[in-house]
Structure 1
């Protein structure tokens, strides 16, 4: 899915306030602590709470393997002022239950409310369409997660309806709204954006 350019762990994306880089072993503790926070995990369909350190370490290993193979691009979100300090994750990956690659993300609770997730998701979305020649991206936001929905809408995604509930380890169905952005809409958005912004 992703070209050779992204398959080396020196690859990074820089934005005004962020570095998006490959996750490393030293990030596992932050992944365990921040993603395992019930306020964060509860807004996702796939992250357990608590998130044991060994599972976070396994996530880092799987992420690096997927990046190396070009099967996806899973990046640590860091502030430019602290490029070693992971504050979240943003990814584009294939999912068996979806016909198109999926944009996924989470951000540690101390970093909410400052537009950082929109900046990170928008940057990876741009990389997917620009570097990988992607045709479309899917994503989802849990029903009741207005912040995630706003991230997707600000990035140009359209809501396509409610997804079938996902049954996860926490028990019970987790309904979400499906979102989609295709290449034509991405190009139109880029052309309409002011210089230097997408």
Structure 2
């Protein structure tokens, strides 16, 4: 299942648990992740479908970005690194909160070689739980979580629909890969729909893991 790395739990929700059949760990980024994150954001097979440019694309930018995250200076971005239960880097997912604090966008990228393993679905479900759980000083009271998918990326659309997101229109998004606009489909998951889906399935919100998860180093770049 999706475990919490309790060695990271301090004043911020660094790691979270999602649905009971999950097989990934979500935790805050570390300096050891920088090369992996930059590779994830710049690999063409992934970059061509990115609708939300929240990950840094150079090591210098990544170091500054991580310093701001660690200093809690980026209140509008809640990033997580995804690993499997053995500590292998799987991808990254971010919750990007609007200025009003009422809506946030989910953006997820899965490393090539880890596709078709249900990781994106598990991560999105866990982040939706995180976003809509009882608010405290770390989690604003969100009404809606949104997602954008490139119209030619059917796999992304299938994942967000599987997670309960509802289609709400089309639009355009800036692509760093193409240095221009790409057509997108928009999706949204309202708190009421999330609540109904969770309780219909008989699932409870995430809770801390019963025991700490061993921290493993992540080496190399994609």
Shorter-normalised TM range: 0.7 to 0.9
Residue 51 (structure 1) aligns with: 57
Displacement of 1:147: 1.4
Which of 114, 123, 126 is 2:126 aligned to?
123
Which of 170, 180, 185 is 1:172 aligned to?
180
Q: Scaled by the length of structure 2, what TM-score is found? A: 0.73
Residue 182 (structure 1) aligns with: 190
Q: Scaled by the length of structure 1, what TM-score is found? A: 0.81
Could you list the structure 1 runs, at least 4 aligned residues long, displaced by more than 6 angstroms after superposition: none
2:102 and 2:191 map into 1 onto residues whose CA distance is: 15
Displacement of 1:95: 4.3
Name whichever structure is richer in helix by fraction.
1
1:11 and 2:14 are equivalent in the alignment: yes
Higher relative CO (Cα under 8 Å, sequence separation at least 6) belongs to: 2
Residue 80 (structure 2) aligns with: 75
The secondary structure found in structure 1 opposite 2:113 is helix
CA-to-partner distance for each residue in 1:66-125, whole Å, 9 max, x for gaps? 5x665442111111221xx432111111246x9721111111111111110110111011
2:25 and 2:49 map into 1 onto residues whose CA distance is: 24
| Structure 1 segment 6-45 matched on structure 2, within 5 A | 8=11, 11-15=14-18, 16-45=22-51
Displacement of 1:35: 2.6
Deviates more, 1:176-185 or 1:87-96: 87-96
2:113 and 2:188 map into 1 onto residues whose CA distance is: 28
Question: Structure 2: which 5+ runs fail to align?
Answer: 1-8, 136-140, 207-222
Question: Structure 1: which 5+ runs fail to align?
Answer: 1-5
